[in-house]
C-alpha cells in the first residue's frame, strides 16, 4: 500500500505522459463530462460517481472528473480509484500534498462540493461567523474569472447597498443589516448586481483579480459598524438637456453600489454658502445605459436637475464643474411598481418625468411580464420636453407597448401633441375604456408640480381609481 514515504510510481502506457495529458486538455475535448458548466455537487451526488468509467473526486472543495486522468496517473489506476466518489482531500494530502492538482486537473473541474444544507448559510458557517439570525439564505458559485453571491432575502424590493472596502473585503447592506465578507482573494470593482425585486433575490458578481478557482469564498460576519448615511460623489460630466434642465453624471468616490428602484429617490446634499442644503432627486439610471460619454457603470449616479431661479441647491448643482463633489444619501421611498397590474398610465409634467423614465425602462425590460405603458407628458412647449428623442425612439421600437402623448400648454405649430392642460377631456381621450373587471389591470402614476399632482389625483379618482391603484410622487 502506498504511503507518503513509499515511492510507488507505476509505468505509464505509451502516450500517457504528462505532456500527453496536457495535450489532451488542450484538444478541446470536454474532460469535465458536464459540458464545462460549474455545478454545486453534494456529497451524495459525488458518491454516485465512484466507478472507473465515471469517476469524480473532491479536493479542497472542488470536484473533479478524473475519469480521463486514470491512465495518466503516475501512481496508477488502482491508487486513484481509492479516492473516487469521495472528498479525497485527506488521502491526496497524505500521499503527495506537493502535487499541483489544480494545474493538472484544471480542465476537469465539475464544480464545488457543497454541504447538503448549503442554502442555510448560518448552519454552513456556524463555527466562524457572527451571523446569529437565520434570516440570510445565500448561495455562491464561481468560474475562473469571477465569484458570484446570490442572496435570497425573501423580502420584495430589498434595500441593497454594496461597498468594496478593500480588495478582499466587501460589505453589503440587505434590509438594514450590514454584513461583511472577507473574500478568499482579491476582486476588482465595479461589481455587477442583478435583483429580482418581486422575490427579493440579489445576485452580486465580483470579478477576480487573478484567474483561478477558490476552495472557499471566504468568511462572513455581521458587522456592528455604524451605517453610512451619505456617500461622496464626484461630478464626471454635465450637459444641457433643455434650456433649464441639466443632466449630471456622478461617480461615487468610494467603491459603492447603491440600488435605487424605479420611482425611488436619493437625497443630494451640498454645502451652499456655508449651509448644508439637501433635496430629493430621482436618479435616471439605468435608462441611459450609454451616452455620448460612454457606458454608464453601476457605481455612477445620473440625475436631471432643473435650474430654478430661486433654487439654492439646483443652482449650485447646475454650476458644478467636473471633479466637484456632492453627497448622496441611501435610497429612499416606497414606490413599488405594481407587479399585479399589466397596464401603467403615467401622468407627468416637466421634470416630473424623472421617476417615469425608470418606470418605463423597467416596464419594457421586465423579464417577468409584458407591461403596457401610456405616458401623458405635459410641458409648456416642445423645446422643454426632456429627452423627447429617447421617448420617441422607445415608443417607435415598442409601439404596441409604449404610447407617448405630449400635451403642450403654449400654442405652437406642433402636430404630434395636444394643446392645453391636462383636464377631463384629455383624460377621457387617452385613458382606455374599461369596465370593473379590466380596471383591475390598470395603475396610474402621477408626478409634477403640486398643482398638477392635485388636479390629476382628482381626475383619476373621478375615473374610479382607488387609493391603492394610483401613486402620487410628492
Ligand atoms: C486521491 C487519491 C490518490 C491516490 C491514492 C494517489 C496515489 C498516488 C501514489 C501512490 C503515487 C505514487 C507515489 C508517490 O509518488 O509518492 C502517486 C503519484 C502521483 N500522483 Fe497520485 N494519488 C491520488 C490522486 C491524485 C490526483 C487527483 C492527482 C492529480 C492531480 C495525482 C497526481 C499524482 C502525481 C503527479 C504523482 C507523481 C508524483 C511525483 O512524481 O512526485 N494523484 N499518487
Does any ligand 1 atom lie closer than 6 A to the CB of residue 360? no
95 lines ligand 1 (CB under 6 A): yes
Specify whether 234 is located in the same domain as 217. no
Domain shared by 456 and 357, yes or no: yes
Ligand 1 contact via 79 beta carbon (within 6 Å)? yes
| Sequence-ordered list of residues with C-beta below 8 angstroms from that of 357, at least 6 positions apart, any chain | 284, 287, 387
Where a domain ends, among 302, 329, 356?
329
- Single pTM value for the model: 0.60
Would the CB of 275 count as within 6 Å of ligand 1? no
Q: What is the complex's ipTM, to 2 decimals?
A: 0.95
**Angstrom distance (rounded) from CA 88 to CA 57:** 6
Q: What is the pLDDT of residue 10?
A: 83
Kindly state if the Cβ of 55 falls inside 6 Å of ligand 1: no
370 and 465 fall within a common domain: yes
| C-alpha 65 to ligand 1 mean position (Å) | 15
CA distance 243 to 307: 9
Does residue 83 line the site of ligand 1, with CB under 6 A? yes
My answer on whether 294 and 236 are in the same domain is yes
Tell me how far the alpha carbon of residue 99 lies from the centroid of ligand 1, in angstroms: 7
Both 215 and 247 in one domain: the answer is no
Give the pLDDT of residue 430.
82
- Classify residue 334: in a domain, yes or no: no
User: Where does a domain end: 222, 238, 267?
Assistant: 222
pLDDT at residue 130 in the model: 35
Residue 3 belongs to some domain of the structure: no
Q: What is the CATH number of the domain that holds 143?
A: 2.60.40.790
From 84, 114, 144, the end of a domain falls on: 114
Give residue 32's pLDDT.
92
Is 320 within the bounds of a domain? Answer: yes
CATH of residue 249's domain is 2.40.30.10
Which residue segment(s) compose the domain that 463 sits in?
Answer: 343-472
pLDDT in tens, the chain (474 residues): 333 334 567 889 999 999 899 999 888 889 999 987 778 788 999 999 999 999 999 987 789 999 999 999 999 999 999 999 999 988 998 888 778 887 899 889 888 787 654 333 333 333 233 333 445 678 888 889 999 998 887 777 888 888 898 999 988 877 667 788 999 999 998 888 888 777 778 889 999 999 999 989 998 877 655 456 788 999 988 888 888 899 898 988 888 888 888 888 888 999 998 888 888 898 886 544 444 444 455 678 888 999 988 899 999 999 999 999 999 988 887 787 666 788 899 999 998 998 898 888 888 877 667 889 999 999 988 888 888 888 898 899 888 899 999 999 886 665 556 667 788 888 888 887 777 777 778 899 999 999 999 999 999 999 888 888 889 987
Indicate which CATH number applies to the domain containing 83. Answer: 3.10.120.10
The reply to whether ligand 1 has any atom less than 6 angstroms from the CB of 9 is: yes
Q: Does residue 12 belong to any structural domain of this protein? A: no
Judgement on whether residues 304 and 404 belong to the same structural domain of the protein: no
Q: Are residues 459 and 363 in the same domain?
A: yes
**279 with 186, same domain?**
no
Is position 247 within any domain? Answer: yes
Burial classification of residue 411, based on how many CB atoms lie within 10 Å of its CB (0-12 exposed, 13-18 middle, 19 or more buried): exposed
Pocket flag, ligand 1, residue 8 (CB < 6 Å): yes
> Is 418 near ligand 1, meaning CB less than 6 Å away?
no
Residue ID of nearest Cα to ligand 1 atom 8: 75
- Substitution candidate for ligand 1 out of 19, 75, 79, 105 with most atoms within 8 A of CB: 75
Whether 1 maps to a domain, the answer reads: no
Give the position, in ligand 1's atom list, of the atom nearest the Cα of 9.
Answer: 12
Which atom of ligand 1 is closest in space to residue 100's alpha carbon? 30
Residue 2 lies inside a defined structural domain of this protein? no
Q: What does residue 309 show for φ and ψ, rounded to 5 degrees?
A: -55, -35
> How many domains is the chain built from?
4
Give residue for cell 448549503: 118
* Cα–ligand 1 centroid distance for 215 (angstroms): 20
What pLDDT score was predicted for residue 468? 82
**Does residue 93 belong to any structural domain of this protein?**
yes
| Residue 194, pLDDT score | 83
Q: Are residues 367 and 462 in the same domain?
A: yes
Domain identity same for 350 and 466: yes
Nearest CA to ligand 1 atom 34: 74
Residues 211 and 237 placed together within one structural domain of the fold:
no
42 alpha carbon to ligand 1 midpoint, in Å? 24
Check which CATH number belongs to the domain holding 456 and give it: 3.40.50.80
The answer, yes or no, to whether any atom of ligand 1 lies below 6 A from the CB of 74, is yes
On whether both 216 and 250 belong to a single domain, the answer is: no
Amino acid at each position: 500500500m502506498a504511503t507518503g514515504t513509499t515511492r510507488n510510481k507505476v509505468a505509464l502506457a505509451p502516450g500517457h505522459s504528462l505532456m500527453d495529458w496536457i495535450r489532451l486538455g488542450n484538444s478541446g475535448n470536454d474532460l469535465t463530462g458536464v459540458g464545462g458548466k460549474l455545478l454545486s455537487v453534494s456529497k451524495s451526488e459525488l458518491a454516485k460517481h465512484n466507478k472507473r468509467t465515471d469517476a469524480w473526486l473532491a479536493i479542497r472543495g472542488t470536484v473533479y472528473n478524473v475519469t480521463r486522468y486514470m491512465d495518466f496517473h503516475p501512481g496508477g489506476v488502482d491508487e486513484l480509484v481509492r479516492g473516487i466518489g469521495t472528498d479525497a482531500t485527506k488521502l491526496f494530502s497524505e500521499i503527495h500534498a506537493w502535487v499541483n492538482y489544480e494545474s493538472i486537473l484544471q480542465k476537469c473541474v465539475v464544480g464545488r462540493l457543497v454541504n447538503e444544507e448549503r442554502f442555510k448559510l448560518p448552519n454552513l458557517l456556524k463555527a466562524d461567523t457572527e451571523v446569529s439570525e437565520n434570516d440570510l439564505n445565500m448561495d455562491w458559485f464561481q468560474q475562473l474569472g469571477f465569484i458570484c453571491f446570490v442572496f435570497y432575502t425573501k423580502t420584495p424590493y430589498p434595500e441593497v447597498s454594496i461597498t468594496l472596502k478593500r480588495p478582499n473585503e466587501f460589505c453589503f447592506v440587505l434590509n438594514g443589516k450590514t454584513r461583511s465578507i472577507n473574500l478568499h482573494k482579491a476582486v476588482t470593482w465595479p461589481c455587477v448586481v442583478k435583483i429580482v425585486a418581486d422575490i427579493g433575490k440579489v445576485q452580486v458578481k465580483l470579478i477576480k483579480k487573478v484567474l483561478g478557482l477558490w476552495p472557499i469564498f471566504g468568511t462572513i460576519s455581521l458587522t456592528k459598524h455604524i451605517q453610512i448615511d451619505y456617500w461622496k460623489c464626484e461630478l464626471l460630466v454635465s450637459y444641457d438637456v433643455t434650456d433649464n434642465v441639466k443632466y449630471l453624471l456622478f461617480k461615487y468616490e468610494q467603491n459603492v453600489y447603491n440600488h435605487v428602484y424605479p420611482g425611488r429617490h436619493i437625497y443630494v446634499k451640498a454645502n451652499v454658502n456655508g449651509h448644508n442644503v439637501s433635496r430629493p432627486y430621482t436618479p435616471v439610471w439605468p435608462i441611459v445605459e450609454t451616452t455620448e460619454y460612454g457606458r454608464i457603470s453601476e457605481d455612477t449616479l445620473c440625475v436631471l436637475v432643473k435650474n430654478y431661479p430661486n433654487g439654492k441647491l439646483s443652482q449650485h448643482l447646475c454650476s458644478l464643474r467636473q471633479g466637484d463633489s456632492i453627497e448622496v444619501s441611501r435610497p429612499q421611498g416606497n414606490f413599488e411598481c405594481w407587479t399585479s397590474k399589466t397596464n401603467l398610465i403615467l401622468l407627468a409634467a416637466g421634470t416630473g418625468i424623472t421617476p417615469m423614465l425608470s418606470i418605463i425602462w423597467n416596464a419594457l425590460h421586465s423579464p417577468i411580464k409584458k407591461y403596457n405603458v401610456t405616458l401623458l407628458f405635459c410641458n409648456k412647449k416642445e423645446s422643454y420636453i426632456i429627452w423627447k428623442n429617447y421617448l420617441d425612439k422607445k415608443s417607435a421600437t415598442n409601439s404596441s407597448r409604449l404610447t407617448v402623448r405630449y400635451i403642450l400648454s403654449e400654442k405652437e405649430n406642433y402636430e404630434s401633441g395636444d394643446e392645453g392642460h391636462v383636464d377631463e377631456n384629455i383624460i377621457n381621450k387617452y385613458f382606455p375604456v374599461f369596465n370593473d373587471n379590466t380596471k383591475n389591470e390598470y395603475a396610474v402614476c402621477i408626478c409634477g408640480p403640486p398643482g398638477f399632482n392635485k388636479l390629476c389625483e382628482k381626475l383619476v379618482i373621478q375615473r374610479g381609481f382607488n387609493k391603492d391603484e394610483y401613486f402620487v410622487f410628492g
